[in-house]
Structure 1
Amino acid sequence: MAQFKETTVQTKPIYDGKVISLQVDDVTLPNGKTSKREIVKHPGAVSVIPITENNKIIFVKQYRKPLEKTLVEIPAGKLEMGEKPEVTALRELEEETGYTTESLTYVTSFYTSPGFADEIMYIYKTNTLKKVEQPKPLDEDEFVELMELTLEEAEQLIVEQEIHDAKTIYAILYLKYKGLR
């Protein structure tokens, strides 16, 4: 919709980190006026809904520093440069849960915070898990605890705000309406 398009006049890089970069863009608005946009650039991320043979969902419990709290989430991780989302999904599944699969089903993708970031999140599902003898280790700064929950138990954790992130809530709603299998 061209009527809403903002044209970038200038980009000022602010920070270039390991996971994100930050820039401030000067833009021309559709009405001809100008404004500034603070933009977080992110390579994208992938998450997996792992379902066990007894219809439990595997979650990871981990501390999230920006929130200063522990959350229960589906396994997820950042895309590496040039990496296909399916490859990231398999890597994160193995690192975070100790499982792998030969069958990933693409569920959806969405932008996590389009008001200020370009991060896209891909979600996959698998119900054909295989335990890995010697799984890839977690990242050195990553600490997680595994949890296997029924769909109903996961829904209750949403109410209690232990599950409190968009990708995991989306995953649970997807399973509620589409089914575990």
Structure 2
Amino acid sequence: MTEWTVHGTRRIYDSEWMSVDLDDVEVPRGERFEHHVLRLPYPSTGVVVVEGENVLLMWRHRFTTGVWGWEIPAGRLEAGETAEVAAVRETEEETGYRVRVEPLITMNPLNGISSHVTHVFVGSGAVKTGEHDPAEAARVEWVPLNEIPALIRKGQIPCGITLAALTTYLTLRTT
């Protein structure tokens, strides 16, 4: 097994949200080139909130893709925050529900071009504490888990993190 060799990194863009680097890399067969890498300063979280046979989802529009779809609550960790604390905070801010969380998976959603990490949790014991954030979602609904495959087939769950989280949950809960 041979790994790519990184000979250096040149930052071409930097902000509080992300940086874009050109990494000077060499692949195992010897070719050397510059590869774009997106780096985010903080990991993110996502939560599959389950109550009985239902999952809490947000119907929202993403201007970046011009698409509406169902998503789980998710967001980035703040400085000094643990993934668990961020998961609980983001869920409550976005949906108006406070939950308890337990780890489901940790993933690198764009590992070919980004070092970003997302920690996904299962949320339970949902307690309504307020209204959802209208900037985050047009609506928040409890959706039957058995409808998730049909929503995926219809393209109504376009978010990669949501797809990975829900399919992982559905796979692992039955095995």
1:97-149 CA distance string (max 9 Å, x none): 11112x311001110111111111111002211121x57x74x9544420210
Q: Distance in 1 between matches of 2:84 and 2:23?
A: 32
Alpha-carbon distance, 1:32 to partner: 4.3
Q: Residue 80 of structure 1 aligns with which residue? A: 78
User: Structure 1 residues 27, 104: CA separation in 2 closer, same or farther (over 3 Å shift)?
Assistant: same
Higher-strand-fraction structure:
2
Alpha-carbon distance, 1:177 to partner: 2.9
Q: Residue 163 of structure 1 aligns with which residue? A: 157
Q: Distance in 2 between matches of 1:143 and 1:149?
A: 15
Corresponding position: 1:51 with 2:50: yes
Q: Is the 8 A contact 1:155 1:172 kept in 2?
A: no
Task: Summarize the alignment of residues 126-145 of structure 1 with structure 2, pairs less than 5 Å apart.
Answer: 126-132=123-129, 134=130, 138=133, 142-145=136-139
Q: Distance in 2 between matches of 1:89 and 1:32?
A: 42
Percent identity over the alignment is 25
Q: Residue 6 of structure 1 aligns with which residue? A: 5
Q: Residue 122 of structure 1 aligns with which residue? A: 119
Q: Distance in 2 between matches of 1:114 and 1:175?
A: 21
Q: Is the 8 A contact 2:45 2:118 kept in 1?
A: yes
Q: Please, what TM-score do these two structures have when normalized by structure 1?
A: 0.84
Task: Summarize the alignment of residues 27-106 of structure 1 with structure 2, pairs less than 5 Å apart.
Answer: 27-42=25-40, 43-52=42-51, 54-101=52-99, 103-106=100-103
Q: How many residues align?
A: 173
Alpha-carbon distance, 1:81 to partner: 2.6
Q: Please, what TM-score do these two structures have when normalized by structure 2?
A: 0.87
User: Structure 1 residues 175, 13: CA separation in 2 closer, same or farther (over 3 Å shift)?
Assistant: closer
Q: Distance in 2 between matches of 1:108 and 1:31?
A: 33
Q: Is the 8 A contact 2:4 2:25 kept in 1?
A: no
Q: Distance in 2 between matches of 1:178 and 1:111?
A: 19
Show structure 1 runs of 5+ residues with no match.
none
Q: Is the 8 A contact 1:110 1:122 kept in 2?
A: yes
Q: Distance in 2 between matches of 1:160 and 1:45?
A: 27
Give the SS at the match of 2:84: helix
Q: Is the 8 A contact 1:45 1:79 kept in 2?
A: yes
Q: Distance in 2 between matches of 1:178 and 1:33?
A: 40
Show structure 2 runs of 5+ residues with no match.
none
User: Structure 1 residues 98, 141: CA separation in 2 closer, same or farther (over 3 Å shift)?
Assistant: closer
Q: Is the 8 A contact 1:7 1:29 kept in 2?
A: no
